[in-house]
Amino acid sequence: MEQQIIPPSHITETVELTWGLERIVGGCRACGQAYLISKSWIGQICPHCINGRLEEQPAVVRQEPPELLILFQLNKARLQNIYTQFTRGLWLAPDDFNPNHLLQRAMPVFWPMWLVDSDVKGVWQAEMGFDYQVKSSVEAYQAGQWNTQQRIETRIRWETRIGTLERHYDNIAVPALEEHAKMSSLLGDYALEQAKTYQIEDLGNALIWLPDLSPENSWEIAQKAIQQAAGNECQKAAEAQHARNFSIQAEYSNQRWSQMLLPMIVSYYHGDDGKVYPVWINGQNGQIRGIRAASQRKGWIWAGVSSGIALALFIAGLLLTAIPPITVLGAILIVLAFCIGVFAIIPAVWPWQWNRKQR
Amino acid sequence: MSGHQQSSIASFGNKMIISNTSNSKKWQPPANFRQLPSKIDGITIFAEVEKSEEEQKLESFKCPKCGATTKFNVSTSGIACEHCGYTVPVAAEKVGREAAENEFTLEALKRGEQGWGEDRRVLHCNSCGAEIALDQKAITSTCPFCASNQVNVLAPESNIILRPRFLIPFKVSPESNQERIRQWLGKGWFHPDELAASAILDRLAGIYMPFWTFDANITANWKAEVGYEHTESYYDHSSKTWRTRTRIHWRWESGQIYLPVDDLITPGNSHISQHILNQILPFHLSELVTYAAGYLAGWQAQAYDIQLPDAWETGKAIIRERAKEACYADIPSSHIRNFSMQADFADESWRYVLLPIYLAAYKFDNRVFQVMVNGQTGTIAGQKPVAWWKVWLAIGALLSPGILLGLIGLPLLLAGGIGVLPLFAGFILLVIGGIIAFNLYRKARESEAD
């Protein structure tokens, strides 16, 4: 791989010159991630690790401003609704696990993807699959007569195709974060076709997560994405319904790298175990992901109270059995005490089981 | 924008056709690839040309040494010059039963439905320029003016018609057929004694006839009431004794059979006698070779006139009856009623092949009789005249013992009672004689049938 093909990144401490923003670079010592933030965000919790605090620092920022951006589609009322739905119905929920707290801590963040433009010129080869139909039949014999039932089956005929390709590909989206796969898994798919041209006023007060994968490091993935796009075009050009084993020997030139910003909202809550639990929302479609942790502390309290009641009932039952006229009542109380005692195990065990499943 | 360049090779498949090149302008597709139209500018597409797609061009066979006509010679299995003896082998590959099979695609069925029409057409001889009138279905021709043998003479506009891709070459030489047919004519006692000596062989033509071969895998589910015999004792009140009787217990049963059908042959030409043709089967398809014009040089060849869908219907009827027999064989009793089955056809495929047959005719007693010889195995079948007086004499001889004993036994029975024995024996002999006589009559009729 010849790395000089990609325009180099520049370390800058004054992003005003590059992106036209009155922002500073804020970084987190705990996780090493950096963001473009307004000064008011200094000292706030890091939206990535929900652990460190943001500090002003120098960072690697590419000179080109983002090319595309997907707008936040969620207003405060919808956010409140999403958090309400998320927190609803959790038994033994921690005290901090409520929609108001989540809404108060919500941080709008744009996370980045690289957009690559490139000319591609080369020779390709693939197996193209063409649907075709065959006629088959089922012959039924009954009461001395044959009846034929015709059947049409669709099959795929695979044929080798080769050829040349000289095309330009625009805005091939490739990861700009090492944690891209994790973020995609958490936030789901974005409707990338709804991305609009970057404008400063669309950023609002949101944090802008800076790429931690340089174009140089993303090139291999970008190349595969371009080849995927080329493969799709070759399939269309051949009018094939399917394609497999696509390969291309190509030259890539006139590359241009820019960024696309995707919206997300990060919030968090404190569990009763002292841990901080992040909650992510896809800023476009409202998909929410995060752990709904149950409180083990509350579980123990419930179990303790239940056990105490069971013990009291048991003692009362024992005493009542000694008084002949109400011996039966005493026996009932003892049975009831046993039942409550057994059920006391549930709040003790359930948070552990639930949290294990959530993870 | 930056003008830097980077090249790389991406390979997700395991078979690479494209070769390493630094400049795609210099790239040329392999020789057996042809360009196809592309739906996107900037992308070119090439596909491998299949052998079956290659046009079967008109070929004339002349000796490169002396210019005389050449033809396929059975003895040398090559294209030989009858004048100077120059022989070249036929460029073909033996594929046997591995010969490629075709699926029943809607496209193939549509092509297979195309007929040839009945008109004759005109062929321009490549060798002397003469105009020759030809049968629409003829694949080969011999020019009556320059005697050149020509192959692939089907009309160019008949590209939509299916073309043969495999054939079995002639193994039996035409020269050996004369004697072979004479010997065959001399066999059998109920034919005229002078048949072998007096029959005049009118014509003997080796011809490649069209056939369809079919494969299929059948999974058949059957359901029937199956009866099982069992013997039981009962008390007979009238005779006041214990007796035994056989009863059948019926119960519903079902089962499944799997029947693979490989290379079922059905004819592709409706103008030859199916009755005689069936008698010269089978052909050994392990001898199939790829279609090469050389094998047809100097021989007649016909294209199909029974279309693929019709031939397949015939084939399916045979296959489903076989499946029915297999289902019956799967039932462990001979008592079966309310039988029903469903045969699911899968992996159906077909081939269009040319198989070698000699068609002959001979005259005897001012009548013309047909003979067919399997050009691969030499099996002969055909029509033979019958000396009916011999047949009737034999039938009389077969029936007379029974009738005679009957005639003796009847007066004896009327006279005193000992006639029962000859009468019974006479009846048995009459039945046996009748069965043999019927078969003899049937065989004699079939011998003359076309």
Give the residue from A135, A110, A86, A297 showing the smallest Cα distance to A205.
Answer: A110
Q: Closest-CA residue in chain A for B218?
A: A138
Q: Closest-CA residue in chain B for A237?
A: B39
Minimal C-alpha gap between A241 and chain B (Å): 13
Q: Which residues of B touch A2 (CB under 8 A)?
A: 4, 6
Q: Which residues of A touch B340 (CB under 8 A)?
A: 140-143
The answer to which of A226-240, B81-95, B221-235 has the lowest mean pLDDT is B81-95
Q: Which residues of A touch B344 (CB under 8 A)?
A: 138
Do B4 and A255 count as a contact with CB atoms less than 8 A apart?
yes
SS3 A185: helix
Tokens for B356, please give them: 């070698």
Measured in whole angstroms, the distance separating CA B15 from the mean position of its chain's CA atoms is 40
**Helix A345-358 / helix A327-343 crossing angle, nearest 10 deg:** 20
Q: What's the pLDDT band for A356 if we cut at 50, 70, 90?
A: confident
Minimal C-alpha gap between B307 and chain A (Å): 16
Do B8 and A252 count as a contact with CB atoms less than 8 A apart?
yes
Give the residue from B10, B279, B332 showing the smallest Cα distance to A234.
Answer: B10
Do B44 and A163 count as a contact with CB atoms less than 8 A apart?
yes
Query: Are B148 and B127 within 8 A, CB to CB?
Result: yes
CB pairs under 8 A between A and B: 176
Q: What's the pLDDT band for A330 if we cut at 50, 70, 90?
A: confident
Tokens for B185, please give them: 């004519």
Q: What's the pLDDT band for A5 if we cut at 50, 70, 90?
A: low
Least CB–CB distance from B46: residue in A143, A163, A244: A163
Q: Closest-CA residue in chain A for B2?
A: A254
Do B18 and A165 count as a contact with CB atoms less than 8 A apart?
no
Do B343 and A152 count as a contact with CB atoms less than 8 A apart?
no
Do A5 and B6 count as a contact with CB atoms less than 8 A apart?
yes
Tokens for A359, please give them: 């993870």
DSSP A84-131: HHHHTT-TT--TT-SHHHHHHT-EEEEEEEEEEEEEEEEEEEEEEEEE
For residues A221-249, average pLDDT:
95
Cα–Cα distance, B127 to B113 (Å, whole number): 34
Q: Closest-CA residue in chain B for A166?
A: B42
Q: Closest-CA residue in chain A for B4?
A: A5
The share of chain A scoring above pLDDT 70, in percent, equals: 95
Cα–Cα distance, B412 to B175 (Å, whole number): 65
Do A237 and B45 count as a contact with CB atoms less than 8 A apart?
yes
The answer to which of B193-197, B303-307, B327-331 has the lowest mean pLDDT is B193-197
Q: Which residues of B touch A122 (CB under 8 A)?
A: 7, 24
Least CB–CB distance from B40: residue in A5, A124, A233: A233
* pLDDT score of B146 more than 90: no
Q: Which residues of B touch A7 (CB under 8 A)?
A: 2
Mutate to test the interface with B, among A116, A130, A156, A164 (most CBs of B within 10 A): A164
Q: Which residues of A touch B345 (CB under 8 A)?
A: 136-139
DSSP A233-276: HHHHHTT-SEEEEEEEEEEEEEEEEEEEEEEEEEEEEE-TTS-E
Rounded to two decimals, the ipTM of the complex is 0.74
Higher pLDDT, B183 or B131: B183
Q: Closest-CA residue in chain B for A162?
A: B46
> Any bridge partners for residue A34, and if so which?
A27
Do A254 and B1 count as a contact with CB atoms less than 8 A apart?
yes
Mutate to test the interface with B, among A159, A247, A255 (most CBs of B within 10 A): A247
Query: Letter for the amino acid at B158?
Result: S
Q: Which residues of B touch A239 (CB under 8 A)?
A: 39
Least CB–CB distance from A239: residue in B15, B39, B107: B39
* pLDDT score of A20 more than 80: no
Q: Closest-CA residue in chain A for B224?
A: A142
Give the residue from A286, A108, A82 showing the smallest Cα distance to A202.
Answer: A108
Q: What is the pLDDT of residues B207-254, one digit of tens each?
A: 888 899 999 999 999 999 999 999 989 998 888 899 999 999 999 999
Least CB–CB distance from A162: residue in B33, B107, B109: B33
pLDDT score at B53: 47
Cα–Cα distance, A151 to B284 (Å, whole number): 32
* CB-based contacts of B438, cutoff 8 Å, min separation 6: none
The answer to which of A191-195, A276-280, B66-70, B168-172 has the lowest mean pLDDT is B66-70
* pLDDT score of B408 more than 90: no
Minimal C-alpha gap between A252 and chain B (Å): 5
What is the 3 state secondary structure string of chain B? CCCCEEEEEECCCCCCCCCCCCCHHHCCCCCCEEEECCCCCCECEEEECCHHHCCCCCEEEECCCCCCEEEEECCCCEEEECCCCCEEECCCCECHHHCCCEECEHHHHHHHCCCCCCCCEEEECCCCCCEEEECCCECEEECCCCCCEEECCCCHHHHHCCCCCEECCCCCCHHHHHHHHHHHHHCCCCCCCCHHHHCEEEEEEEEEEEEEEEEEEEEEEEEEEEEEEEEEEEEECCCCEEEEEEEEEEEEEEEEEEEEEEEEEEECCCCCCHHHHHHHCCCCHHHCEECCHHHHCCCEEECCCCCHHHHHHHHHHHHHHHHHHHHHHHCCCCEEEEEEEEEEEEEEEEEEEEEEEEEEEEEECCEEEEEEEECCCCCEEECCCCCHHHHHHHHHHHHHHHHHHHHHHHHHHHHCCCCHHHHHHHHHHHHHHHHHHHHHHHHHHHHHCC
